[in-house]
Amino acid sequence: MTLLDEYYVPGLHIEDRSIDVPLDWTGHEPGRGFDGESIKLFYRVVTTPEHVHDDLPLLVFLQGGPGGAGPRLLSPQSDGWIEEATKHFRVVLPDQRGTGRSNRIDTHTMARIAAAHADAGSDGAAKAAQAQADYLKRFLADSIVRDFEHLRRTEFGGRKWVTMGQSYGGFLTLTYLSLFPEGVNASFTTGGIPHVPADATEVYEHTFPRMAVKTKRFYERYPQDAARVAALADALPTAAEVNEFVGTLTGSVLGSLESDALGRRLGVIAGMAAHGFPLMPNGDPLTVERLQCLGSDFGMKPSFERVHWILDDAFLEGDGSVPSDAPSLSDEFLAKVMNATSSRPLYWPLQEFIYANGELDEPIRWAAQRVRDTRPEFGAGKRPLNFTGEAMFPWMFEQESALRPFRAAMDVLMEDTRFGVIYDEERLASNEVPLQAGVYFDDMYVDSGLQLDTLSRVGNSHYWVTNEFEHDGLHGPIVFRHLWEEALNRGDLETLF
């Protein structure tokens, strides 16, 4: 076990550690030696100062995402569930492969893979895209769970642990119970039971109507923002208009080094600025569709307030009220929108592939965009403008600088039908590991009805349905304690306490 650092933050003792895991788990078994290319799996072990030397049971945190790293704690209260969990457990916080300090993936990674195929002649671009896609497929649930099981077997002596899965971590929980239930004493999940069988299209057919309801409630809460958003949308270009304009730029505008990615990027930014498109600080254009993405936060609290205060700073002239003429947008507003709508590098590229289980009947082919195309109320020209939620669209990979290097790989993945097996329905039906799920009735991201349908077919599963919390309820002090007490009082943890 490689100890990198050991230190305290207020109220917590932390060890930073890492191990090697195979990049590709094909042909390898967790807990055994392996050959071929490896990557680092970074993790932290957290206890309270008074429990540093105590032999407490283990709890591993399955972080949300996809593309989510473990929490960076400031104190036991900075992530609400930690305070209660560290009373009873030694808590293990891995950074899922490709995130945090576990061989992080970003634009540089995609560029390196592309550069490795630069000398492949006329097939170079296609080979690079395929290599990028193959690489990204190794960062999904089947590999993540094998990493964690390898960690448990090699670094914790094979001791069983309790899993705590938040959001996408609940998806990982069902993968763990499908592949390695023998490693788990009990499981907790919050806001994260996927529908099994998995279907990305079905997910968005449920979430888009909920986004329309969320938008309506937002405008009811802050009616002045309906006029603000309408004025902004009237003044902004659409994603299609930006794409069309960029396609008309001449070589002289794109820069003297047409083949140079940076030169082309600067040329595009200069061209858009000269045309009057509003640009965010990183050079990305602000379009109506990107404005709509502010709604991706509407499933958390206090998201309505966060979006309201972003809109409050939108207009530069006068006292900031909605202007009668074409508005000038403030730099502060553009920066806030950029920060609020930018995401972790793996979050959008892997978003729809977390629903890919084994051999697919048909490719995913931009499920969210296909569903959106059937719902005209989400059109850029509709007023009041509807916000969109946790959904990715093709324009993101054309116009967002952090996502553009992933576009070629996305085109390949969207036509792919072969993925790792992440759910075993027969094994889940006969599951014996106690599973305690917190289901948020109004969950914007993971439909509560679909969660309950799955749980009805998972053995030894129990659920608590509540409308007191949004999707991020775990990060307060109540939810984990409730799940813990339910499991404890039912005897699910009797072998541990």
Q: What tens digit of pLDDT does each residue of 351-362 get? A: 999 999 999 999
How far from chain centre, in Å, is Cα 255?
A: 35
Beta sheet of 161-166, edge-to-edge order = 2-9, 12-22, 38-47, 90-94, 58-62, 161-166, 184-190, 435-440, 461-466
Q: Which residues pair with 41 in a beta bridge?
A: 19
Q: Which residues pair with 21 in a beta bridge?
A: 39
First to last CA, the chain: 26
Alpha-carbon gap, residue 27 to 364, rounded angstroms: 27
Complete domains list, the chain, with CATH: 2-97+142-197+423-490 (3.40.50.1820), 200-236+278-413 (no CATH)
Tally the C-alpha atoms within 13 A of residue 206's C-alpha that lie toward its C-beta. 16
Alpha-carbon gap, residue 431 to 269, rounded angstroms: 54
Which structure tokens are listed for 469? 């919390």
The verdict on pTM exceeding 0.85 is yes
> How confident is the model at residue 258, as a pLDDT?
42
> How confident is the model at residue 119, as a pLDDT?
79
Per DSSP bridges, beta strands 38-47 and 58-62 are unpaired
Per DSSP bridges, beta strands 38-47 and 90-94 are antiparallel
- 22 phi and psi angles, rounded to 5 deg: -65, 140
Nearest to 93 by CA among 77, 119, 72, 120: 72
Q: Which residues of 112-139 are buried (b: 16+ CB within 10 A; e: fewer)?
A: ebbeebeeeeeeeeeebbbbbbebbbbb
Residues 313 and 332 sit within 8 Å (Cβ to Cβ)? yes
pLDDT tens for the chain, 497 residues: list them.
Answer: 689 999 999 999 999 999 999 999 999 999 999 999 999 999 999 999 999 999 999 999 999 999 999 999 999 999 999 999 999 999 999 999 999 999 999 999 999 999 998 777 778 899 999 999 999 999 999 999 999 999 999 999 999 999 999 999 999 999 999 999 999 999 999 999 999 999 999 999 999 999 999 999 999 999 999 999 999 999 999 999 999 998 888 665 555 434 466 777 888 888 898 889 999 999 999 999 999 999 999 999 899 999 999 999 999 988 989 998 889 999 999 999 999 999 788 999 999 999 999 999 999 999 999 999 999 999 999 999 999 989 999 999 999 999 999 999 999 999 999 999 999 999 999 999 999 999 999 999 999 999 999 999 999 999 999 999 999 999 999 999 999 999 999 999 999 98
Which structure tokens are listed for 68? 């989510």
Q: What tens digit of pLDDT does each residue of 79-136 get? A: 999 999 999 999 999 999 999 999 999 999 999 999 998 777 778 899 999 999 999 9
> How confident is the model at residue 123, as a pLDDT?
87
Alpha-carbon gap, residue 448 to 41, rounded angstroms: 32
Which structure tokens are listed for 365? 């082919």
> How confident is the model at residue 81, as a pLDDT?
97
Alpha-carbon gap, residue 34 to 41, rounded angstroms: 15
Burial class of residue 33 (count of CB atoms within 10 Å of its CB; 0-12, 13-18, 19+)? exposed
